[in-house]
Amino acid sequence: MGIGRCFWMVLLGLVFWTSTAVGQDHAEATKVDFEREIEPILAARCIKCHGPQKQKEGLRLDRSAFALRGGDSGEPGIVAGDSAHSELFRRITAHELDRMPPEGEPLTTAQVALIKRWIDEGASWPENGPTIEDESTHWSFQPVGEHGPPQTRGSWGSSPIDAFVLQKLEAEGLRPSPAADRVTLIRRLYLDLHGLLPTPAQVEAFTGDRREDAWERLVEESLASPRYGERWAQHWLDIVQYADSHGFEMNTPRPNAYHYRDYVIDALNDDLPYDRFIFEQLAGDTVGVHAATGFLVAGAWDEVLSKDPDDTALQRQDELTAMVNTTGTALLGLTLGCARCHNHKFDPVPQRDFYSMTAVFAGVRHGERALDSDKDKLVRVQQEELIEEVAALRAQLPGLRPGVNSRLNVERFPEVRACSVRMSIYATRGGAEPCIDELEVWSGELNVARTATPRSSGNYANNPKHRLEHINDGLFGNPRSWISNQAGGGWIQLDLAEPAQIDRISWGRDREERFTDRTAVGYVIEVAQTPGEWQVVSGSQNRRDPGDPGGLDSVAFGTDEVIARIAAAEKRRQKLKDYPVDAVYAGRLEQPGATHRLYRGDVREKREAVAPDILSALGSLGLAMDAPEEQRRVALARGISDSSNPLTARVMANRIWHHHFGAGIVATPGDFGANGAQPSHPELLDWLAMRLMREEWSLKQLHRLILLSDTYRQASAPNSEALARDADTRLLWRFPPRRLEAEVIRDCILQLSGSLDLTMGGPGFSTFEPNTNYVRVYAPKEELGPAEWRRMVYMHKVRMEKAPLFGSFDLPDAGQVCPKRSLSTTAIQALNLFNGTFVLDQARRMAANLEGLAMDPVVGAYRVAYGRRPNPSELNTARSFIQEQSLVAFCRAILNSNELVFIP
């Protein structure tokens, strides 16, 4: 019921009490003394109606700030001095369905008039307690604490992280596990950081390294590998719901979205400071990092717009909601989308805040824009150099003629004998195929073109208006013209019936002046005195810019050498102009109009305009309503990455911990609000967040701190006593083993078969058959080959479509943000992994590789897959199995084994 039944019942009490106490004779002259007469009634009624359990719902009248704000609907309950915009007044005067009080008789006319008067007089209500901001008492909204490592009774541990963990263990009467063996450690590190297995040579090197800092060295080498960025980029791409298609019923591909994926990989490999990582994803266009803003439009897009303006507005609001929600989940760990229709039910996020965040992104629309890559920059430099070269050459000409116009252009030159005339076009207005309605060749006052035979480089197909014979038929206008079949170029030639002395040529795009597109703006006109011997007599090289009427029509053309050089430079410039500019799906940016709060999220129910801003619980950006579009995103990026923001560093530190240990210190990495989990080690989380900020937001340094801890290096073996007290290993008495993700399982299978292609970056590969249907239908390829054997992070991800084979392993479908993957164990997973054609093919390839080794294939398989030698029992069993079945069947079993698909 919006602000809520109890809210209105209390206010009803206010009405009846005041109408009785004030008296009819003094109603118009006396203001209500709120503190003496009203506050006791409100306080009593509030406690009676609500009870303590209702306080968290925001239906409060015991504090003026909450009453003024209103209830969950987001509408202000009381707007002091303005009853017309007060939800209270609207509801007590509404029709039955919406009217308050919900039960009993409606208020009398006098009672309604009294409330109206009280509001219009200013709704005098002295502040009597906490303000709205004081509602932000949840732990995650408090400043990051300065916590030093605690004192513990035991001596275990080599880092502050271990001290925080040991303190919790000691409080529960638990002990940490011993250190894992070196084979386990290197496999854990490689699978965790790289998503790949260590090679037998790498395992042997580490297990044989007796230096005290052998582990530290291995960690440094692993963090420096480009495989790290590929592995950890996948975690981030999950959060932002990255995919290579739009989603919805069309599900059209985004062929250049991959630039954002490559940006994330490179940023992580380069250890881009996290605050800078945030800035570039929100406002990278302002610093020349265009691919980074793929973050803004990584989500789904409904490209089929409705004809109904309300439906179109709703689609647009859905787009903006996705941007706000992704930003909230990824960067702040909050579920901001919950405040679209009403104040957030659990967190200090008023509905107004949601629309202030919406205003930040109001100028961002789905679509492509120029990537401004290094190649693009080089092309621009070359274009500028050619412009300067042409200008210098034109300075050597006797003068310039008027610019080309679409109606009629006359090319004059000294009289010359000709048997053929040719016009070669290399640039047109708009870049389309050139069009000429008539080409005239003059010998005195005789147009000798009328009897000439036309030829061309190619003709526009299947259109009776545009034919080769129209070029010299004596008729003008678009319906009787010639068009080339080549975009931006082509040539037309007239072979004269007999040689003639000529001194000018005239031509136009459309002498009826209806069309101006396709006009030739870069061209050369040549004549041949004998077949094949061409001489330049005129062209665009000594003309001003198209449409510029200045200059003299009778200017001499200039020397052949200068004209030829100008023509060559202009042709090169045109080729560069036509050079495809790299594009990236990173959003189209425009200055937005006003953003309004929407009553109950309804696009037809606009309320007050809001300024672009961050959440009020985190401060204010101080922007004007009409702030420039890019300024909004820049300000938000700085506000989110400000060290005083209590959420940003905590959320990222927790996210990294989550992916190292399988669960975060806060078990809900996308929800740090009141509906999320409490931190298991709150002081440790703050210590990690503080270190992240003080280490210049270096993510690799945070990895380093975690990886070098004894907590990370514990064995993962179970302990019955510890399992009884902490079955989920939340207290970290051991390293929590877990199944690998779909991408890692697949990549390791390719690695073991020797098929893995480690080519980085660029367009991805697809496991679906190509199709160009209007509504895309994605059918899995029946056969996969080397083109599909790159790492899975480079796979073309189709939104809302399960990936063949490995989609059953809880692979997100990019339909929504995914800060934490689900984990299931199903029969279809086992069947796919055991019987899938991909696995069968890779098992055969693995077997072929093992047969080529100078060692027992069983020993070789164990070394590459598990990093160890088989024990005698395993060796004998495997040999017997191979003899009974085959080496391929044995490799198939290896690829399906728990020891392969779990981080130990």
* Contact indicator for 156, 710 with CB cutoff of 8 Å: yes
Task: For residue 834, give the H/E element and its range.
Answer: helix 827-835
- The pLDDT mean for the chain works out to 89
User: Which has the closest alpha carbon to 802: 792, 811, 793, 794?
Assistant: 811
> Residue type for 25, please?
D
Residues paired with 253 in a beta bridge: 245
From CA 73, how far away is CA 11, in angstroms rounded?
Answer: 17
Q: Is the pLDDT of residue 578 over 80?
A: no
From CA 111, how far away is CA 101, in angstroms rounded?
Answer: 12
Q: How does pLDDT run across 470-513, given as a tens digit for each residue? A: 999 999 999 999 999 999 999 999 999 999 999 999 999 999 99
Residues paired with 507 in a beta bridge: 409, 439
User: Which has the closest alpha carbon to 92: 35, 179, 9, 202?
Assistant: 9
What residues contact residue 117 under an 8 Å CB cut-off, 6+ apart?
27, 28
DSSP character for 802? P
* Contact indicator for 700, 888 with CB cutoff of 8 Å: no
Q: How confident is the model at residue 575 (pLDDT cuts 50, 70, 90)?
A: confident
Summarize the confidence of residues 875-880 as an average pLDDT.
Answer: 97
Q: How does pLDDT run across 255-291, given as a tens digit for each residue? A: 999 999 999 999 999 999 999 999 999 999 999 999 9
Give the phi and the psi of residue 317 in degrees, each rounded to 5: -65, -35
Alpha carbon distances (Å) from 339 to 232, 239, 324, 897: 31, 20, 10, 46
CB atoms closer than 10 angstroms to residue 599: 19
Q: How confident is the model at residue 372 (pLDDT cuts 50, 70, 90)?
A: confident
Alpha carbon distances (Å) from 352 to 32, 80, 427, 617, 626: 30, 18, 53, 12, 17
DSSP letters, 507-563, are EES-TTSS--TT-EEEEEEEEESSTT-EEEEEEGGGB-STT---S-TT-----HHHH
Find out whether the peptide bond into 549 is cis, omega within 30 degrees of 0.
Answer: no
Note the Cα 703 to chain centre separation in Å.
25
Say what the pLDDT of residue 574 is: 76
Q: Is the pLDDT of residue 596 over 60?
A: yes
Q: Is the pLDDT of residue 8 over 50?
A: no
Summarize the confidence of residues 352-362 as an average pLDDT.
Answer: 97
From CA 148, how far away is CA 145, in angstroms rounded?
Answer: 9
Q: Is the pLDDT of residue 699 over 90?
A: yes
Q: How confident is the model at residue 57 (pLDDT cuts 50, 70, 90)?
A: very low
DSSP character for 179? B
Q: How confident is the model at residue 7 (pLDDT cuts 50, 70, 90)?
A: very low
The tokens 């800035």 sit on which residue? 279
Say what the pLDDT of residue 40 is: 44
CB atoms closer than 10 angstroms to residue 328: 27
Lowest mean pLDDT among 117-126, 580-589, 671-680, 742-751: 117-126
Q: How confident is the model at residue 96 (pLDDT cuts 50, 70, 90)?
A: low
CB atoms closer than 10 angstroms to residue 509: 26
Summarize the confidence of residues 627-632 as an average pLDDT.
Answer: 98
Q: How does pLDDT run across 113-125, given as a tens digit for each residue? A: 777 777 887 877 7
Say what the pLDDT of residue 742 is: 95
Q: How confident is the model at residue 774 (pLDDT cuts 50, 70, 90)?
A: confident
Lowest mean pLDDT among 1-10, 158-167, 296-305, 539-548: 1-10
Q: Is the pLDDT of residue 650 over 60?
A: yes
Task: State the virtual CA torsion across 355, 358, 359, 360 in degrees, nearest 10.
Answer: 130
From CA 439, how far away is CA 35, in angstroms rounded?
Answer: 93
Summarize the confidence of residues 729-753 as an average pLDDT.
Answer: 97
Say what the pLDDT of residue 112 is: 73
* Contact indicator for 98, 138 with CB cutoff of 8 Å: no
Say what the pLDDT of residue 570 is: 82
Give burial (CB, 10 Å; 0-12/13-18/19+) of 835: exposed
Q: The pTM is what?
A: 0.80
Q: How confident is the model at residue 21 (pLDDT cuts 50, 70, 90)?
A: very low
The tokens 């679409």 sit on which residue? 406
Find out whether the peptide bond into 101 is cis, omega within 30 degrees of 0.
Answer: yes
* Contact indicator for 499, 528 with CB cutoff of 8 Å: no
From CA 184, how far away is CA 459, in angstroms rounded?
Answer: 70
Q: What percent of the chain has pLDDT over 70?
A: 88
Say what the pLDDT of residue 101 is: 66
User: Which has the closest alpha carbon to 190: 241, 144, 240, 230?
Assistant: 230
Say what the pLDDT of residue 356 is: 97
User: Which has the closest alpha carbon to 873: 886, 858, 884, 887?
Assistant: 858
* Contact indicator for 334, 349 with CB cutoff of 8 Å: yes
User: What is residue 587's three-state secondary structure?
Assistant: coil
Q: Is the pLDDT of residue 623 over 60?
A: yes
Give the phi and the psi of residue 155 in degrees, each rounded to 5: -105, 5
Q: For the chain, what's the residue count? A: 904
Q: How does pLDDT run across 381-437, given as a tens digit for each residue? A: 888 888 899 889 888 888 888 999 999 999 999 999 999 999 999 999 988 999 999
Task: For residue 222, give the H/E element and its range.
Answer: helix 214-224
What residues contact residue 710 under an 8 Å CB cut-off, 6+ apart?
156, 157, 158, 159, 162, 176, 179
Q: How confident is the model at residue 737 (pLDDT cuts 50, 70, 90)?
A: very high
User: Which has the closest alpha carbon to 77: 123, 25, 144?
Assistant: 123
Q: What percent of the chain has pLDDT over 90?
A: 72
